[in-house]
A and B are shown apart, each in its own frame.
Chain A
């Protein structure tokens, strides 16, 4: 399974993380924004859905909602791989995704003022 590796000076080792996704690099999760919010729907996976341990872990992490970036960081897999795994979960109806721009394209004045005050108080 592990492909050949060589070192790229600036970027680290060449890896084949897409082995986890059966070699697929595209799925319905392809366009998921980094800060799109993913929440497990709570539906139980159909028998034979064939979820891998990474996908089960994602369902756990998203029980109360987590962003795509949070998930990738938490499972410690590259973003592209996480997007493919999420795409499968999405197709299976196991997670729901809320795109950040869908609800409000721009944050409200009230939210921004809250952020400014929150940052000052850090």
Chain B
């Protein structure tokens, strides 16, 4: 296999999704250097008490912090990780984030499993390759991946694994599992 150093740089995008407080920021921080990235949420009717008439097209925005990390595989090959805040009001970012994404990690907490339903629905609908990583919080009952798969009504080919996102080694396995899954879907699509 010939190595072509002069080829165009490649940037890949991986999303980290899941409910509020499930460990998205912790996962991104465990495997990459977290960097500040802000986007803005337009407050339309919500800006009560805000004077929005001074030349900003009537728009008032509030900034929203996103998790953003980058992993340099080699020069010219970078993986970008993006996690969004868990609250549903931030869904406006998702279309942009998921556009052209290689895949998504959906984090789940067995104590609040239904919190990840919206993420799963979203990626299923968009055809974005995703895996479900069950973040094992202290004190939560351990569930076998197959039980989680049944509870979430997942396709048999969607990988489900247990993880502890505070540990780098565990976060690594999560990402490798996702990229392997994306590769499998890619080769299946090419057949």
Binding site for B on A (CB under 8 A): 3-4, 6, 8, 10-19, 23-25, 33-35, 37, 65, 67, 69-70, 72-73, 76-81, 98, 100-101, 103-107, 109-116, 118-120, 122
Contact = CB atoms under 8 A, between A and B. Distances in A.
Given A10-B85, A14-B43, A17-B40, A112 B183 contact: yes
Interface in B97-140: 97, 99-100, 102
Given A6-B49, A14-B43, A14-B47, A119 B62 contact: no
A contacts with B: majority SS: mixed
Nearest to A36: B11
A59 B11 CA distance: 20
B156 to A, nearest CB: 22
The number of chain B residues touching the other chain, given as a range, is 35 or more
B167 interface: no
Contact of A79 (B9, B40, B176): B40
Interface in B23-68: 31, 35-41, 43, 47, 49-51, 54-57, 59-65, 68
Nearest to A81: B40
Interface of B: 1, 8-13, 31, 35-41, 43, 47, 49-51, 54-57, 59-65, 68, 70-71, 73-74, 77-80, 82, 85, 87, 96-97, 99-100, 102, 168, 172, 175-176, 179-180, 182-183, 186-187
Nearest to A111: B10
Nearest to A31: B96
A73 B62 contact: no
B62 A12 contact: yes
A34 B96 contact: yes
Contacts of B70: 70
B186 A109 contact: yes
B36 A35 contact: no
30 contacts: A3-B60, A4-B50, A8-B62, A10-B85, A10-B87, A14-B47, A16-B60, A16-B61, A17-B40, A23-B55, A24-B57, A33-B99, A33-B100, A34-B80, A72-B37, A78-B39, A78-B63, A79-B38, A101-B100, A103-B8, A107-B186, A109-B186, A109-B187, A111-B12, A112-B102, A113-B183, A115-B179, A118-B73, A118-B77, A120-B172
